[in-house]
Amino acid sequence: MPVSAYLIVSALLFTIGAVGVLVRRNPLVMFMSIELMLNAVNLSFMAFARFLNSVEGWIFVFLVLTVAAAEVVVGLAIIVSIFRSRRNIDVDELNLLKG
Amino acid sequence: MTFEQVLFFVLAAVALASGLGVILFRNAVYSMLSLILNLLSLAFFFLMLNGMFIATIQVLIYAGAVMVLFLFVVTMLTSDDARVGGPDRLRWQWGAGFLLAVIFAGALSLALLQGTVARDACTLDPQGCLAAQVAKNGNTETFGLALFHAYSFPFEVTSVLLVIAVLGAVVLGQRALRAGREAPVEQNGAAEREPEEASNAR
């Protein structure tokens, strides 16, 4: 398969993730959409590593995995603490901008 | 069609369908399971692209560890479905979102199809390029050599990032624990008092 086939799958997955962040109201699903976008970019990195024959793509995927793990840990902690103080995690309801 | 092409199209269909499932399922647990399927199909893509080590850590770390953590929180916060629900006050967001998605995907595909392919590193450096190194050293060894020789500084920065993330999660969890121990009435009282105090101070 040519490299553009992988890149188009990656672009479509990234678009799906972006739409998820825009339209969903559950912050957990928005988080999953962010994971989807990160993984779409990982697919591009792997395709470029394979077709340009350079190891940098793998290194980038490794670093993206690490950053995604850190982001999930902190983001979920924030969502849990919002849930504990408000009993409601609908992002449209979180419009007060005060403690 | 060769076997590789059939595999590619099946995997692409699974990846896109499960990606759509993430944003279209109403129940967040189904979205979660759909995301895990998506990550596994991407791991198969990585295998097709000769990235065995990356495919392995994709399955172990991402689809395994990170998603288990995610699933714990999702099942904890969506025990009754009514909490995120009710009338959607911003329904037009869906239309606007899909319009923007079509424009975005079209622009990306156009850029991809019109772009020129960069030079393969093997034409410049037949000994040091990825395919030659993998053939000589093996997949994981190649990755490890690159990570610990050429890219050891980003690797060390990664450890600092992980420590910061763990500390941040501990601090956030601690505050949530303290708020949970207090009686909810007291907490509401405190939340109501705060604006008054702020206005008095002003």
Shortest distance between the Cα of A2 and any Cα of chain B, in A, equals 10
Q: Crossing angle of helices B67-77/B28-48, nearest 10°?
A: 170
Q: Which positions in chain B touch A68 (Cβ < 8 Å)?
A: 62, 66
Q: Are B43 and A36 in contact (CB under 8 A)?
A: no
Q: Which 3 state secondary structure label does DSSP give A82? A: helix
Taking the C-alpha atoms of residue B180 and residue B175, their distance in angstroms, rounded to an integer, is 9
DSSP assignment letter at B61: I
Cα–Cα distance measured from residue B12 to residue B33, given in angstroms and rounded to the nearest whole number: 17
CB contact under 8 A, B117 and A3: yes
Q: Are B147 and A60 in contact (CB under 8 A)?
A: no
- Tell me which residue in B49, B117, B130 faces A54 most closely, judged by beta carbons: B130
For residue A91, give the DSSP letter: T
Phi, psi angle pair for A95, to nearest 5°: -125, 20
CB atoms within 10 A of CB B54: 26
Give yes or no for a contact between B149 and B133, defined as CB atoms under 8 angstroms apart: no
Rounded CA separation B78/A60 (Å) = 34
- Which candidate, B7, B148, B54, B120, places its Cα nearest to that of A42? B54
Residues of chain B with pLDDT > 70: what percent?
A: 80
User: Band of the pLDDT at B177, cuts 50, 70, 90?
Assistant: low
What confidence tier does B190 reach under pLDDT thresholds 50, 70, 90?
very low
Is there a contact between B62 and A65 if contact means CB atoms under 8 Å apart?
Answer: yes
**Closest CB from A1, A66, A90 relative to B161:** A66
- Residue B54: how many CA atoms within 13 Å on its side-chain side? 34
Cα–Cα distance between B140 and B130 in angstroms, integer?
A: 12
Read off the pLDDT of residues B7-36 as tens digits, 9 standing for 90 and up.
999 999 999 999 999 999 888 889 999 999
pLDDT surpasses 70 at A10: yes
* Band of pLDDT at residue B79, cut at 50, 70 and 90: low
User: How far off is chain B from A95, nearest CA to CA, in Å?
Assistant: 13
* Contact B193/A at CB under 8 A: no
Residues of B in contact with A96 (CB under 8 A): none
- The tokens of B82 are what? 């009514």
Instruction: List CB contacts (< 8 A) between B113 and chain A.
Output: 4
Is B22 within 8 Å of A20 when comparing Cβ atoms? yes
Helix residue ranges, H only, B62-151: 67-77, 92-114, 121-124, 130-137, 139-145
Most B CBs within 10 Å: which of A4, A26, A56, as the mutation test of the B interface? A26
DSSP 8-state assignment for residue A22: H
Q: How many CB pairs under 8 A join A and B?
A: 231
Alpha carbons B166 and B170: distance in angstroms, whole number = 6
The answer to whether the Cβ–Cβ distance between A46 and B49 falls below 8 Å is yes
The whole-angstrom separation of Cα B10 and Cα B13 is 5
pLDDT digits (tens, 9 = 90+) for B114-140: 877 677 777 777 777 888 888 888 888
Closest approach of B202 to chain A, Cα-based (Å): 16
Q: What is the residue whose two structure tokens read 């269909």?
A: B13
Q: State the Cα–Cα distance between residues B44 and A70, nearest whole angstrom.
A: 24
Instruction: Quote the tokens at residue B87.
Output: 């009338």
Instruction: Show residues of chain A in contact with B168, CB under 8 Å.
Output: 73-74, 77
CA B153 distance to own-chain centroid: 24
Nearest-by-CA chain B residue for A78: B172
Q: How many residues are there in chain A?
A: 99
Residue B189 has pLDDT above 50, yes or no: no
Chain B: closest CA distance from residue A16 (Å): 6
